[in-house]
Amino acid sequence: MPRFSLKRLLISTTMVATGLGALVFAFSNQLPLLDYPAVTFLYVAPPALIGAGLLHPFRLAWVGALVGALGMLIFLGYCVATVEI
């Protein structure tokens, strides 16, 4: 049975909350996706934070960050490809 330290759980909670807050900010303000690189980073980084936060207690934060970032990149690629100009 895994034993999590309080430090790991607090870091994990902070990472997930920060990621969710950034996603809410990005989607509620309807920021243009491809105008500035910083805006694209604002869409890709929060899922990486959420994934890293979810797997941080298991010492697999890098896997969660990779899965979160790749998942959001695939989703954004689909959204950009299906938009009719």
DSSP 3-state assignment of 31?
coil
Res 10: pLDDT? 95
User: What distance in Å separates the CA atoms of residue 41 and residue 82, rounded to the nearest whole number?
Assistant: 20
Give the angle 44-49-51 at the CA atoms, nearest 5°.
100
| Type of residue numbered 32 | P
* H helical segments located in the chain: 6-28, 37-55, 61-82
Q: The pTM is what?
A: 0.82
- Residue 83: left (phi > 0), alpha (psi -120 to 50), or beta? beta
Res 75: pLDDT? 86
Res 34: pLDDT? 66
* Mean pLDDT, contiguous 10-residue spans, the chain (85 residues): 85 95 84 74 88 93 94 86 76
